[in-house]
Chain A
Amino acid sequence: MSLAEKSVPGPVRYRNQATGRVLSVLLAFTNSSQPRGVAELSRALGMNKNMVHRALTTLTAEGYLVRDVSGARYQLGPRLLTLPAGALHESDIVALARPALEQLHALTGESVYLSIIVGRNRVTVDDIQAQGARVLRSARGHPVPLHCTKMSRVLLAHLSDADIAAYLAAAAPLARASRFPDPPSESERGIWQDIAAIRAVPFLLWRNPHASSAAYAIFPVCDASGHPHAILTVGGPRERFDLAEIEARLPRMRAILEPLEREARLFPAPIFLAEI
């Protein structure tokens, strides 16, 4: 055996069981924002309580864990934030969706919008506005109640039934402002019917009933549980972008959206709070 081979020992020979146990206990706190106690960790890790207690004592002394407010359980310590393991960045649906917005606009030449739920409203947070005399316009940052307009309702429809019920109770009375003339139903029953229709399709094609209005394709972007991160909307005046034109481009639109939909499933959508 050469000297070089001797100086690089095999991993099994150097296995350090006591350290391994302590690191396992620390790792048990990953993805858990709730404090954990000795008995619970002992069950989860298959270690006896003494081992777990010793590991917790070590981790607390080194600042990796702290006792929780009750003093009986443990939580990750703020010291972990000081370990500069590389930059942590937010999974941001706006940044993720930008390439899809650009590609959809390049494909259609029409206006493209990314909208999210903020409070009890839909808010457009990114857009590419089409150029020309007759184009679809929608103000960025302008709040629209979740029960008003088809775009809002696609977001509403992808919330849980309990969240929708809480929204409808909090937003009552559901009078529709005159600036949001579509769709016609204003009753709670009508909205639930609309939600059922939206849920029955993977995306929504819609045109307002007025002859001089716009047509839209509205695509929900959801997390792994089906909760909505956002909607992507492509829309234009019906004389050049009616449903037939949209349908002809649908396969390419869906291919553009596929990478975004896949990435969006990897992190949770924001929680919805109706009672603010």
Chain B
Amino acid sequence: MSSSAARALRILDWIARAGRPLGVSEIAREASLAPGTVFRSLDALVRADFIARYQASARYVPANAVERLRRSVIAGFRMREPVLPYLRQLASASGETVSLHVRLGWYGVRIASALGTAEVTSAANLGETQPLGDYYAGKAMLAFLSEAHIARYGDWLAGHGVPFREQARELHAVKKRGFASGDADFTGARAVAFPIRSTQEPIAAIAIEGPVLPRTGEHHGGFSDWRETVAHVEALARAQAGLFENPFAHLDPNSLIL
């Protein structure tokens, strides 16, 4: 194992998470490293296009290689390609942004999206991760897992000091209804999310979200058409199971902290 490379990767992590350009002395102070040591790491990261100087200053921001690698992780979910046309059909029918989410341990991650055609639509950042119980698409997947899996999720949450009882009640309601709906985020946007199930368990969720969706998505005039399109995607998932495999399904969900 290379300690200098490990150091460079941790510095990359700091720069990416900072949300603002970072300079050598700031990183050196945070990492308790000599500025010269930090500079050598930065130099290697710049050469490989992982970071770049911010507007020709002495501070650094993430660069193209990070984005290319993130895109490659998302491209590993091969289900994106066959599902994208259905997302576009739903986006066109609803006017709202439509996204495909998959499980990554106890998190959900957005791996594909089609922008809505309404005047105001929601942005959809690919690669965005959230704990399954924290958002509508995650709930649509979580609610349809086996009782044992849901209990493991509850234990995982408890291990992070988060109570699960309230969420468990909500998941029962989602399962009974067949989809999750409600407030999407702090902007007040509404959403409705449908699970995509293979023969056994949910492998993904399709979410329709946007500020102009009525509070209860199921009352939207096109709701039955949306469900029909989602049913087509489920049929596709069963017929093309290989394409819908999750490349991270073999990892222990408790080992993933995102």
| A interface residues (Cβ-Cβ under 8 A, vs B) | 9, 11, 14-16, 18-24, 26-27, 29-33, 54-55, 57-59, 61-62, 64, 66, 68-69, 75-90, 92-95, 116-119, 123-126, 140-141, 268, 270-271, 273, 275-276
| B interface residues (Cβ-Cβ under 8 A, vs A) | 1-2, 4-10, 12-13, 16-17, 19, 39-41, 43-48, 50, 62-63, 65-76, 78, 81-82, 84-86, 88-89, 91-93, 104-105, 109, 112-115, 117, 123-127, 129, 225, 232, 235-236, 239-240, 243, 247-251, 256, 258
Q: Is A18 within 8 A of B2, CB to CB?
A: yes
Q: Is B8 within 8 A of A125, CB to CB?
A: no
Q: Is B89 within 8 A of A76, CB to CB?
A: no
A125 proximity list for chain B (CB < 8 A): 88-89, 91-92, 117
Q: Is B48 within 8 A of A88, CB to CB?
A: no
Please give 13 more A-B residue pairs, beta carbons under 8 A apart, in addition to A77-B73, A88-B74.
A23-B48, A23-B50, A27-B65, A61-B1, A81-B127, A83-B12, A83-B13, A87-B125, A90-B126, A116-B85, A123-B92, A273-B82, A273-B240
A18 proximity list for chain B (CB < 8 A): 2, 4-5
What is the bound-complex CA distance between A18 and B251, given in angstroms? 29
Listed residue (B4, B44, B240) with the most chain A CB atoms within 10 angstroms of its CB = B44
CB distance from A99 to the nearest CB of B (A): 14
A16 proximity list for chain B (CB < 8 A): 4, 8, 40-41, 43-44
Q: Is B48 within 8 A of A76, CB to CB?
A: no
B7 proximity list for chain A (CB < 8 A): 19
**Can you identify 15 A-B contacts, CB atoms within 8 angstroms?**
A15-B43, A18-B4, A19-B2, A19-B45, A32-B72, A33-B75, A61-B6, A82-B258, A87-B123, A88-B74, A90-B126, A92-B113, A94-B115, A125-B88, A273-B240
